[in-house]
Amino acid sequence: MDPELEAFVPLLPRTDLSDPAAYRRIYAELAASRPAPDTTGLDVADRTVPADPDVRVRVYRPHGARGAVLWLHGGAWVAGSLDTEHLWAAPMAHLSGAVVITVDYRLSPENRFPAALDDAYAALVWTYEHAAELGIDPDRIAVGGHSAGGGIAAAVALRARDEQGPPIRFQLLNEAILDDRQQTWSARNFTDTPWNNRAVRAAAWGHYLGSRPATPYAAPARAEDLSGLPPAYVATAEFDPNRDEDVDYALRLLQAGVSVELHQWPGTFHGSLAIQSAEVSQRHVAELGAVLHRALAG
Residues 225-244: tens digit of each pLDDT:
999 999 999 999 999 999 99
| pLDDT surpasses 70 at 191 | yes
Q: What is the pLDDT of residue 298?
A: 60
| pLDDT surpasses 90 at 210 | yes
Q: Helix-strand-coil percent breakdown of the chain, rounded to 5?
A: 40, 20, 40
Buried b (16+ CB within 10 A) or exposed e, 6-33: eeeeeeeeebebeebeebbeebbebbee
Catalytic one among 104, 179, 240, 244? 240
The full set of domains in the chain, from first to last, is: 3-297 (3.40.50.1820)
Q: Are strands 141-146 and 170-174 parallel, antiparallel or unpaired?
A: parallel
Name the pTM for this structure. 0.98
Q: How far apart are CA 197 and CA 189, in angstroms?
A: 9
pLDDT band for position 51 (50/70/90)?
very high
Catalytic one among 81, 96, 147, 272? 147
Give Cβ neighbours of residue 53 (< 8 Å, ≥ 6 apart): 106
Length reported for the chain: 298
| pLDDT surpasses 90 at 15 | no
The mean pLDDT of 108-132, rounded to a whole number, is 98
Please confirm, yes or no, whether 263 is among the known catalytic residues.
no
| pLDDT surpasses 90 at 297 | no
Q: Are 236 and 174 in contact (CB under 8 A)?
A: no
Q: How far apart are CA 293 and CA 286, in angstroms?
A: 11
Please confirm, yes or no, whether 147 is among the known catalytic residues.
yes
The mean pLDDT of 207-216, rounded to a whole number, is 97
Residues 269-292: tens digit of each pLDDT:
999 999 999 999 999 999 999 999
**279 Rama sector, left if φ>0, alpha if ψ -120 to 50, beta otherwise:** alpha
Residues 70-103: tens digit of each pLDDT:
999 999 999 999 999 999 999 999 999 999 999 9
H/E segment holding residue 4 = helix 3-6
Q: How far apart are CA 127 and CA 94, in angstroms?
A: 19
Nearest to 82 by CA among 101, 69, 62, 65: 101
Nearest to 78 by CA among 34, 16, 124: 16
Q: How far apart are CA 49 and CA 71, in angstroms?
A: 15
pLDDT band for position 14 (50/70/90)?
confident
| pLDDT surpasses 80 at 5 | yes
What is the overall mean pLDDT for the chain? 97
Q: What is the pLDDT of residue 157?
A: 99
Q: How far apart are CA 173 and CA 245, in angstroms?
A: 12
Please confirm, yes or no, whether 272 is among the known catalytic residues.
no
Backbone torsions φ then ψ of 190, nearest 5 degrees: -90, 85
Catalytic one among 73, 94, 207, 270? 270
Q: How far apart are CA 22 and CA 16, in angstroms?
A: 8
